[in-house]
Each structure stands twice: as structure tokens, then as C-alpha cells.
Amino acid sequence: MFFLFPDPHFKKSKHKWRIINQTLLAEYAYVLKVGVGRIYIATDVHDLFEWMDSRLSSHPLFLKLSEEDANQDPTVSLLFESTEEGRKVSRAGGNKWKAVYQRISDPYEAT
């Protein structure tokens, strides 16, 4: 799943509309295959990156890939330039942040 340059919904009252939140992460985990499914995020808004990163990193069904592991994924090199918004930020010389999360098995599920 790709969340590339989503609407940041800056106002605190609008944070519930962000595409990354605890409720939606449960839905995303449900449809992603354990060990294969990944969530890719990219944004030019640092506060939004921290928001998404904190939600994904604290979710028990997702594991953040290390920078080294993420860079071995051929998709990662395309994240910043694959959308018009990403290209616009590049032209303007803006900062961008990215991360990749792997769907993992439920640690609370009996095996």
C-alpha cells in the first residue's frame, strides 16, 4: 500500500481524517499478507511524517524496516518522484521523508 504525499489535515480537529490512524491501520493489516505486505509512506510535511511514523511504529502488526532493508526494495527509489506532488517538491528543493513498514504476524495470536 502506498501513501504518497497525502493531505496533511493540519488542524487538530481534522486529524481523525488522516489516512493513517489506528482504526484504518487495523483494516490495512487485515488485507496485507503477513511477511509480504508493505506500507510505503512519503511526505514533504515533517509533522505528518512523524504522525504516520509514530502510528505505524506503535502498531503491533507492522514493523518498520531499517533504512538499509528499505533501500534494498527497488520500489523505494521511486517513492519521491512517482507522483506529481513529489516532483513538485523536488523542483522547489523541498525536504521529503519516507519509510517502509512490513506486515508481521500477530504477536498475540496463538500459534
Choosing from 7, 47, 69, 106, the catalytic residue is 7
Is there a catalytic annotation at residue 7? yes
Burial class for 89, CB neighbours closer than 10 Å (0-12, 13-18, 19+): buried
- Contact between 99 and 63 under an 8 Å Cβ cutoff? The reply is no
Distance in angstroms (rounded) separating the CA atoms of residues 15 and 43: 16
The secondary element (H helix, E strand) that includes residue 4 is strand 2-4
What are residue 101's DSSP bridge partners? 39, 64
Catalytic residue IDs: 7
